[in-house]
A and B are shown apart, each in its own frame.
Chain A
Amino acid sequence: MNEQIIILPLLLHLVFSISLMFFWTNIKAQKVLSITGSFLAMCASIWVFIYVWDNGIQTFQAGNWEAPFGITFVGDTLASILVLLTGITGFAVSIFAAVSVIKARLRFGFYSVFHFLLMGLNGAFLTGDMFNLYVWFEIIIISSFVLISLGGEKNQLEGAVKYFTLNFLASMIFLTGLGVLYGLTGTLNMADLSQKIPLVNNQALVDVTAFLFLVGFGIKSAVFPLYFWLPASYHTPPSAVSAIFSGLLTKVGVYALIRVFTLIFVNDSFIEIMLQSLAILTIFSGGIGAIIQKNIRKVFSYLIICHIGFMIGGLGLFTEVAMAGAIFYLIHDIVVKTNLFLVSGLIYRLKSTTSLDRLGGIYKSYPKLSLLMAIPLFSLVGIPPLSGFWPKLSLLLAGFNEGNYWYFGAVIFGSLLTLIAIAHVWAKAFWEDGKEIKKSKKFIEFNQLRKYQKMQYVAPIVFLAIVSLYIGFGAEHIQQVSLRIANEVFDKQAYFDAVFK
């Protein structure tokens, strides 16, 4: 074996996605296969991460074509940790989906598309070619369109139309940027571009291209002016689907922004100011949106936007400390946001609603589960030993040292708004005495479920809670990883040398 193991998780998802198609009608077999598949992919991604951590950046050329002509796959530490997180969240969600997604959806190939989506995510993280990145993006969004509209309920279809339109528009803007980039440099290999972009005569056009990429990825990662599709669509599909969307889909946009603006368009002061101001506006609008919502899933949707701002701002500061903070936040956010939507699915199963006006008394009737659900909620807020605290500390420090007090204030304000929103959820849903909720007859109560089904509801949340506790208590390790990633991300030459061996 050699450097090719970096695409092992990708290939595993592909193989399982195809083999799931052969069990189109047999739902039981699909569940077993999918959970096995995502478990294997998780193990493979752990292996990939360890391999990359020990041996440095791994690259290989698909089709054995030399570097600038063929498609390069690059596994650096940033890519491999994201592959690892994809594996972890994918495993948790596939267990959760087995029990929470209704049969009618599973019968239309839910699992097959789900694995296809995970394959696309892995590919997007690992590719070293701009056009290939576009292709993986399209694989991701086409599978997410199917997942978001599976079931065909009224609000689901509406959300899907909005989600589809803006994501398609973002892809088109991204593709426009690609076309201009190719016209300027004659190459699409990221490592090659990093060397050729500074040599282009027409730097004004380079700025325009950078802005096209900023807009395209900005829409996909729900950055300030164009985030409206996210709260309109993320609460409509089943919780398992929203969990994987909220954990990973918007973060692919953030990953692409980090990659593009540290490798290809660097030292662009306009983009820096743009990123910082967008970050501040995103934090404000997301946070304020979160505190006025009355549906748990919508509160979480707005919090996604708010916290995207933290990461974008960390990227916009362009220092190593800030970048390490942003990466740390990314790692924490993927795990915790996925877990939050799983929690919202569990709350729905407990009480048959996710509306804060009607919820209540969960702590009284399910004290142990409430404590479990408290872990992701308060990790998100960043109560000191939990995982959200440490990256915010780095981001605040970076903002303060850079003298960027607007960002500094925005992070504090955003954290405060997060605290208010989560405290609101906690008080309304868990502590306050609830009214009796009318449940439809078809609704199956949590207590009526069989024991293994209850396990399937709780186990993924426990699993992700343990991971986020580790991120909190073992923050030293994660900080080490983030610092190394921040180092690597700013070292363009090492990336170039790894691709052009």
Chain B
Amino acid sequence: MEILLAITTGILYAAGIYMMLRRSMVKLILGLILLGNGVNLLIFLLGRITKGKPPIIPEETKVFEDLFADPVPQALILTAIVISFGLQSFAIILVKRAYKVLKTDDLDQLNTTDEDS
């Protein structure tokens, strides 16, 4: 399972970076999304995968009795997902506005900021 996840993570990173290096703005966003998912999987993988119960101690007992899963990576991933949800939706709106104003999807055409004004 670890090997499979590691390979998936690698593919997601590679695909994300590759998409970001393309010239299209839409592919840029796709790349960002893939990269974000790759990072989340990486955290999940490095948090040690266990088939455990949620780490909540029942009321009758004082200590854990079963194997439990580490809750921290999951909390981290949840936070990261929420944040990237916000960032990505902002990116989509931004790119859409940029496309409307600039009338191009080609990132190589974005050079008005380099001209002196």
User: A residues near B, CB below 8 A?
Assistant: 131, 135, 138, 141-142, 145-146, 149, 152-155, 157-162, 164-165, 168-169, 171-172, 175-176, 178-180, 182-183, 188, 232-233, 235-236, 293-295, 298, 355, 357
Contact = CB atoms under 8 A, between A and B. Distances in A.
A117 to B, nearest CB: 14
Contacts of A183: 45-48
Nearest to B83: A138
B15 to A, nearest CB: 13
A179 B74 CA distance: 11
Interface residues of B, number: 36
Interface in B79-109: 79-80, 83, 86-87, 90-91, 94-95, 97-98, 101-102, 107
B26 interface: no
B102 A175 contact: no
B39 interface: yes
A293 B116 CA distance: 8
A168 B35 CA distance: 10
Nearest to A166: B20
A17 B89 CA distance: 22
Contact of B112 (A152, A154, A169): A154
B69 interface: no
10 tightest Cβ-Cβ pairs between the two chains A and B: A183-B46, A179-B43, A157-B98, A294-B116, A232-B113, A138-B83, A179-B42, A158-B110, A175-B39, A179-B46
A131 B35 contact: no
B117 A165 contact: no
B98 A168 contact: no
Contacts of B94: 145, 149, 157, 160-161, 164
Interface of B: 20, 25, 28, 32, 35-36, 39, 42-43, 45-48, 72-73, 76, 79-80, 83, 86-87, 90-91, 94-95, 97-98, 101-102, 107, 110, 112-114, 116-117
Given A157-B98, A357-B116, 19 more contacts: A138-B87, A142-B86, A145-B87, A145-B90, A149-B97, A152-B101, A154-B112, A158-B98, A158-B113, A161-B95, A164-B91, A165-B28, A169-B35, A172-B36, A172-B39, A175-B80, A180-B42, A183-B45, A295-B117
Contacts of B107: 161
Contact of B20 (A155, A157, A165, A355): A165
Contacts of B39: 172, 175-176, 179
Contact of B76 (A149, A160, A164, A182): A182
Contacts of B45: 183
A157 B116 contact: no
A39 to B, nearest CB: 30
Nearest to B109: A158
A159 B113 contact: yes
A236 B32 contact: no
A149 B117 CA distance: 18
A1 B112 CA distance: 53
Nearest to B48: A183
Contacts of A357: 116
B46 A180 contact: yes
Contacts of B114: 232
Given A168-B87, A175-B80, A161 B25 contact: yes
A355 B90 CA distance: 32
A138 B87 CA distance: 9
B98 A131 contact: no
B59 to A, nearest CB: 20
Nearest to A297: B117
